[in-house]
Amino acid sequence: MKALSLLSALAIFSGVQAGVPLEPENGKIYFGAWYARPNGDTPAAINTRVGKKLAMFQSDFNITDTINEGNPLQFLQQMDETKSDAIMYLTAYPMYGFDSVTDKAIDDLANLVANVTNSGRRVFLRYASEMNGNWFAYGRQPRKFIDSFRKVVTAVRSKSKPETVAIVWAPNSSNGYPFANDPAKYPYPAPLINSSHPDWDILDTNGDGQLTVQDDPYSPYYPGDDYVDWVGMSQYHYGSVFSDKYDAWVDNSLPNGDQIHQMIRGGNNKTLYDFYGMFCEGGKTNASQGGKPFQLTETGSTFHIRLRNETEYADPGPGRVAIKKAWWEQFLNEAFITQFPHFKAFNFFEFQKYEESSLRDFTNLGPNPSTLDPFTGAQIVNETNAVLDAFLADLPNFEMHLIWGNDSDIDSKKPKQNETAGGNGTGQPNSPSGSVNLSGAEGSRVGLAAILGAVAVGLVGLVVV
């Protein structure tokens, strides 16, 4: 019998089924975290706090005419330090707009993914997420988004084995769509939406001359089934009462009992479109035949620590533990998993950060290293592990559905020389833009460290919800 490749063996061992890359069998769910790398947290530290190895970890970077920002090896090194086969979840932001993204940068990204997967580590790639929102320069521009998304997918797939990398298409939940024209609120806002917008003809899906909650918030941005492996969305609870004074959600309150269900299925006065039915079950949009596995690409329930320009801490309401527990219990239960069999992955958003009008705590997996309070300049005093303790106490109720990481000695700095990373057909890793010669013994010593050193791939912690 021909020996199995490492990735084929991992697929069998973890219950991954043939067909869609990285898709596990029904009832099995990847448990991941978008960890606070800029604040000093690490995947290994999270694994230690949880007492088990998570199945995936997410971090982000900016792509423009280069992918050269931040520490290029840090994310890879921290993944290797887990001593596990955890999936590397890359979120790529064209933060300054699609016009700033060059073909060379896309090629460098494709080479990065190819060399990571060639080392034996699998990758989720999420490009230009939340593209239907107004808080990114690339937002609410479906034609440019689809064109850029397809370029990225084509480049990545040309250089990576299909079973090693999964492409994730992930809009924001449509709660609030089409979102206000509020350019002063965000550092890199989306273009204003009105009838002179170049994509008005496809954004006004019901043709009534207005862009409202009645218009489809998803299909205009869908690049096509051939370019998407997984679908997902960002889902958060920020509070229950919108504050005119602060122009934001700033109250500490419990989420509605079916809030996540409503965001996925629609049918209420804030989000009318059935995302799950459209892209997972199929038959509810002409854009997709359905059948895609679904993930909560980033999720959490906010606890507001302090309000803008206020000296006192925010009213804790029902308390940090109750607010967060009420959120994860909405999707980590037998009824939800049975009702949504395509639900197969989630990432907790593990940050404390200043956003809009408050200092917000999204964490569930223990307090990450303290960050500076923007109001006082002092270190935030983190609470105990009460939220994590509550999560671990709940864990036996749903752990049978979770996929964890397996022990592994994957070294992302040493691509396997006897496996072809993708389309180059040489048995050698792909080199970015021809800038590194990987031939012969010198190439085997160079590995990914030199490749990434040459392109200086910037996996910076942009930390944007």
Residues with active-site annotation: 130, 298
Distance CA 136, CA 172 (A): 12
By DSSP bridging, strand 242-243 and strand 248-249 are antiparallel
Residues in the chain: 465
Written as one string, the DSSP assignment of 62-122 is E-SS----S-TTHHHHHHHTTTB-PEEEEEEE-TT-GGG--HHHHHHHHHHHHHHHHTT--
Q: What b-and-e string marks burial along 162-177, b requiring 16 or more CB atoms within 10 Å of the CB?
A: ebbbbbbbbbbbbbeb
Alpha carbon of 176 to those of 151, 215, 268: distances in Å?
A: 29, 12, 12
The DSSP bridge partners found for residue 62 are 93
Contacts of residue 18, Cβ cutoff 8 Å, sequence gap at least 6: none
Contact 146, 220 (CB under 8 A): no
Handedness of CA 316, 319, 320, 324 (dihedral sign): negative
Distance CA 433, CA 230 (A): 29
Show the beta-strand stretches assigned E in 327-422.
343-350, 352-355, 358-361, 402-403
Residue type, 80: D
The tokens for 237 are 């609870």
Distance CA 462, CA 107 (A): 22
Taking the CB of residue 65, how many other CB atoms lie within 10 A of it? 12
For residue 32, what is the enclosing H or E element?
strand 29-35
Distance CA 137, CA 371 (A): 27
Peptide bond into 429 cis (omega under 30): no
Contact 301, 324 (CB under 8 A): yes
Report helix, strand or coil for 400: helix
DSSP conformation class of 372: B
DSSP conformation class of 281: I
